[in-house]
Amino acid sequence: MTRIPLIAGNWKLNLGPSQARALGAELAQALADRRDTEVAIFPTALSIPAVLGAVKGSGITVGVQEIHDKDTGAYTGTNSAHFAREAGCTWALIGHSERRQLFAETDEAVGRKARAALQAGLLPMVCIGETLEQRDAGQVHAVVTRQLSAALGTLRPDEAVTVAIAYEPIWAIGTGRTASPEQAQEVHAALRAWLRDRYPAFVAEQTRILYGGSVKPANAAELLGQPDIDGALVGGASLKADSFRAIVQAASA
């Protein structure tokens, strides 16, 4: 089965409303001629309304970078999945390594948030990945499958298949280091095999597994050419329209 490539840009804590609006408008124009590739962007929460207005009608979807697993309540400083959906978001980014490392987000919390996103009508994009120490210790498969199991464990097959999985080796995020295409493909293939073992065949066949970790125009084509890499979650290179466009073009090739 052919899976439609998905290129997502995580803007992290960058670009306030005016700058985000400008980049959104630039992307809407720059990506107007893309072929058979979905594009999603994740602005900071305060910039979401500005970006939604800038990309309206372009087919570019917008996501929220973080959600709580509760809809409402005394949870100062976080975001409700239902509120994000009402605002116009399509996606929720869940379990990014920065959330896990800097904000002590656990595997169990990631699972609760994935379910909360689905219940609110958002598509979860769940991030998983190992540290350099875990890779050197030969624990890659155990770590990423543990994280994936926690994220999808309570989901039915028809729910699990809507989740995009983003494999991001932590040692390659923002460091300039990138997993080789062969290293990335090996993990992606293992993740798809895990899905095949635990769900009906259509889940493994249709689920998109993205690679993230210093993805740039220079390495995008080789990474995206691997059979089990269905797109990319892009950090720094998504903050410039020209570099992000080049990665989208690599996926469309």
Which positions are annotated as active-site residues?
96, 168
In sequence order, the 6+-apart residues with CB closer than 8 A to the CB of 78 are 66, 67, 68
Measured CA to CA in angstroms, residue 248 lies from 127, 181, 195, 229, 233 at distances of: 20, 17, 26, 14, 11
Is 127:94 a contact under the CB 8 Å cutoff?
yes
Residues in contact with 130: Cβ distance below 8 Å, sequence separation at least 6, in sequence order = 139, 140, 143, 144, 169, 170, 171
First to last CA, the chain: 17
